[in-house]
Every structure is written in C-alpha cells, then in structure tokens.
C-alpha cells in the first residue's frame, strides 16, 4: 500500500501558489482576492469556510467572508452576488453549499459570473469542462487530479467506479476521468443511490472514488486487490477524545481496505486538504486571467 499523502502534496503546491501570489502582488499592486459567502450556521460549512479563509491568508491572498443569517432572502443574496460580480477587486466568488431550503442553489450558482466561479459549478464551466476547454474545475475533483498527477499515476485505460453523483464531486469527477486527458482516459461507471449492484460494481474497479457521505461504506470485501482508492468522505461524529469535539471518518474503511489497495488516501489528511489547493489554484487563475482573460 502506498499513501496518497494530501498533507505532503498540498503543502508543496501551496508553496508554489505562495510564490505566484507574491509575483502577482509585485506586478499588480494587489493580492488575489477570494470572497466566500456563508448563509446560516451549519457547523461543517463554518469549519470549511474558515479553513478556506485561513489558507488564503497562508498563501498571501486577500480573503473576505460574508456571513448572512439563515433567513436572508434569495433576492438579497443575488443582489450581493451581482455587486461582487461587478467589483474588479474581487477575483473569485463562492457561495458555500448547502443553502437553506428557501434558496434555490441553481439560481445562486447561475447568478455568479462564470469568470469568478472558482468553485466551477456554473453551467458554463461545467459545459466547458466536459468539452475539455479552459474552465474552472470544481475544487475537490481538481484536487484529486493534482494528487494523481503528483504521484505520476497513469490512469489511461483503467476502469474507474465513482460512488455518488453529487454536483460537487461525483458527477464532475466522472466527466473528468472519462476525458481524453491526463489524468483521465478511464472507462467510467457512475454509481448512486439507485444503482442495483453497487458492491459488484465497486469490486470491478481499478480506481474507486468514494463520495457517498456514508462512514466506512467501502469495505475490504468489495475492493479488488491492487485498486487505487480515493476517499472523499468527511463524515463528522461527535467525540470526547478530540479537542474540536468531533472526529472525521472517511467513506472508506481505511484500516481494512489499505491492505488491498495499491494507493489510498487517508481521512483526514487526504482529499480534504487537496480541495483547498484546487480552490486556491482556481482563485490564482481567476486573478491572473489565465482561464478567461
Ligand atoms: N460544500 C461542500 N463542498 C463545497 C465546495 O467545494 N464549494 C462550495 N461552495 N460548497 C461546498
């Protein structure tokens, strides 16, 4: 078993981003700037946004966190997004998901200028990604590709099974792995809650991307010997043993599965850290105008 070490890879790439941010500041007289909007008081979302902001500071970006109460109207939120779209001091703009039920995430996603959509969720970015055109790739799938690239893992011709079809991870991941690109060129099976024989599908996989949000869903008995295992799960359970008051569990039973896998990501210390890197890279590209000029 070889570890896909998110801690190592993310710190190396963040060092490069830090240097590029310094060069950007020198050339442009300002820092790349990410704005994150958070609505309500979901504990996990608050943690994620705080971590995004902290990492921006770490690499020398400017970051702004706009926090609204749960009851903000969709109209007010869209008005704020339009204001930020027009602000040339803002390079990247994200709205943390999930949103309260009275706000339509599709309307919010489409309100964001696709040239500032560093989450890569806008239909223009999604369509361009599918066509292999320059675009912003969603942060988690992007981070996974960067990790595979770092370790020189050749995915061409492999059978990838993606578990979970979310807009944030599973669906874009299935598109990216199928693209004529590197990493990519996989034969992809996208499985989800209505898939009949999910375990049999996973057993056929050379690469498993587990993004289903169920603690230890992937067990050793459903993994092929030598498979590459990418664990996207961040399942929080309260714990008296940690300072934070909770403990994180992956979608993969690491202890069991690691003895069968050729490569595997740990949780924590794997994909989560790479997601931040994907977001930082997109924000830098947005500032530099290297995707959309
Ligand atoms: N919620 C869970 N993951 C993400 C993400 O990558 N971006 C946003 N905006 N919300 C999320």
The continuous run of DSSP H or E covering 160 comes out as strand 159-163
Q: Check residue 19 and give its pLDDT.
A: 98
Ligand 1 atom nearest residue 36's Cα:
9
* Cβ pair 163, 170 in contact under 8 A: yes
Residues in Cβ contact with 5 at an 8 Å cutoff, skipping those fewer than 6 apart:
266, 269, 270
Domain ranges, residue 148: 139-273
* Cβ pair 63, 90 in contact under 8 A: no
Shared domain for 92 and 191, answered yes or no, is: no
Shared domain for 95 and 179, answered yes or no, is: no
Residue 52 is a catalytic residue: yes
Q: How many domains does the chain have?
A: 2
In a domain, 125, yes or no: no
From 99, 168, 169, 271, mutation site for ligand 1 pocket: most ligand atoms within 8 A of C-beta = 168
Residue ending a domain, among 114, 130, 154, is 114
Q: How many CA atoms lie within 13 A of 45 on its CB side?
A: 19
Residue 62, classed as helix, strand or coil, is strand
Nearest alpha carbon, ligand 1 atom 11: 97
Ligand 1 neighbourhood includes 282 CB (under 6 angstroms):
no
Ligand 1 neighbourhood includes 124 CB (under 6 angstroms):
no
Which two tokens mark 226?
């030598």
CATH label of the domain that carries residue 48: 3.40.50.10860
Shared domain for 83 and 33, answered yes or no, is: yes
Query: In the 3-class helix/strand/coil scheme, how is 130-141 assigned residue by residue?
Result: HCCCCCCCCHHH
Q: Is the peptide bond before 241 cis (omega within 30 degrees of 0)?
A: no
Ligand 1 neighbourhood includes 99 CB (under 6 angstroms):
no
Residue 119 is a catalytic residue: yes
Shared domain for 152 and 265, answered yes or no, is: yes
The strand pair at 207-210 and 228-231 is best described as parallel
| Stretches in the chain below the pLDDT threshold 70 | none
Shared domain for 167 and 86, answered yes or no, is: no
Shared domain for 105 and 184, answered yes or no, is: no
Rg for the chain (alpha carbons), in Å?
19
Shared domain for 110 and 148, answered yes or no, is: no
Q: Check residue 236 and give its pLDDT.
A: 93
Of 233, 231, 238, which is closest to residue 147 (Cα–Cα)? 231
Shared domain for 75 and 148, answered yes or no, is: no
| Chain centroid offset of residue 92 CA | 15
In a domain, 242, yes or no: yes
In a domain, 124, yes or no: no
Shared domain for 102 and 181, answered yes or no, is: no
In a domain, 282, yes or no: no
Shared domain for 145 and 105, answered yes or no, is: no
In a domain, 89, yes or no: yes
Sign of CA dihedral 180, 184, 188, 194: negative
Residue 241 is a catalytic residue: no
Shared domain for 155 and 106, answered yes or no, is: no
In a domain, 280, yes or no: no
CATH label of the domain that carries residue 187: 3.40.50.720
Residue 37, classed as helix, strand or coil, is strand
In a domain, 196, yes or no: yes
Both ends of the chain: CA-CA distance in Å? 43
- What does the pLDDT look like over 119-160, one tens digit per residue? 999 999 999 999 999 999 999 999 999 999 999 999 999 999
Which two tokens mark 249?
């569990």
How close is the Cα of 212 to the center of ligand 1, in Å?
15
Q: Check residue 293 and give its pLDDT.
A: 87
In a domain, 197, yes or no: yes
Residues in Cβ contact with 130 at an 8 Å cutoff, skipping those fewer than 6 apart:
175, 179
Shared domain for 102 and 52, answered yes or no, is: yes
């Amino acid at each position: 078993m070889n570890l896909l070490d998110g801690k190592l890879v993310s710190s190396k790439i963040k060092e490069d981003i830090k240097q590029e941010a310094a060069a950007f500041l020198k050339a442009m007289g300002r820092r790349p700037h990410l704005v994150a909007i958070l609505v309500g008081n979901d504990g996990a979302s608050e943690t994620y946004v705080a971590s995004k902001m902290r990492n921006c500071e770490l690499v020398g970006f400017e970051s702004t966190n706009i926090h609204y109460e749960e009851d903000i109207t969709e109209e007010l939120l869209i008005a704020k997004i339009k204001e930020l779209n027009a602000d040339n001091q803002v390079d990247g703009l994200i709205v943390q998901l999930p949103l309260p039920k009275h706000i339509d995430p599709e309307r919010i996603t489409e309100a964001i200028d696709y040239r500032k959509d560093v989450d890569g969720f806008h239909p223009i970015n999604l369509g361009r990604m599918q066509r292999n055109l320059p675009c912003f790739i969603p942060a988690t799938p992007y981070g996974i590709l960067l990790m595979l690239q770092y370790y020189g893992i050749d995915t061409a011709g492999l059978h990838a099974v993606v578990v979970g079809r979310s807009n944030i991870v599973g669906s874009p991941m299935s598109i990216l792995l199928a693209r004529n690109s590197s990493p990519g060129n996989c034969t992809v099976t996208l499985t989800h809650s209505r898939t009949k024989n999910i375990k049999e599908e996973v057993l056929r996989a050379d690469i498993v991307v587990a993004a289903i949000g169920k603690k230890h869903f992937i067990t050793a008995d459903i993994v092929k010997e030598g498979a590459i295992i990418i664990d996207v799960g961040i399942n929080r359970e309260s714990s008296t043993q940690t300072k934070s008051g909770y403990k994180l569990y992956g979608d993969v039973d690491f202890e069991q599965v690691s003895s069968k896998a050729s490569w595997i990501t740990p949780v924590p210390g794997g994909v989560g850290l790479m997601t931040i890197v994907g977001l930082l890279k997109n924000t830098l590209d947005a500032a530099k105008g290297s995707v959309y000029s």
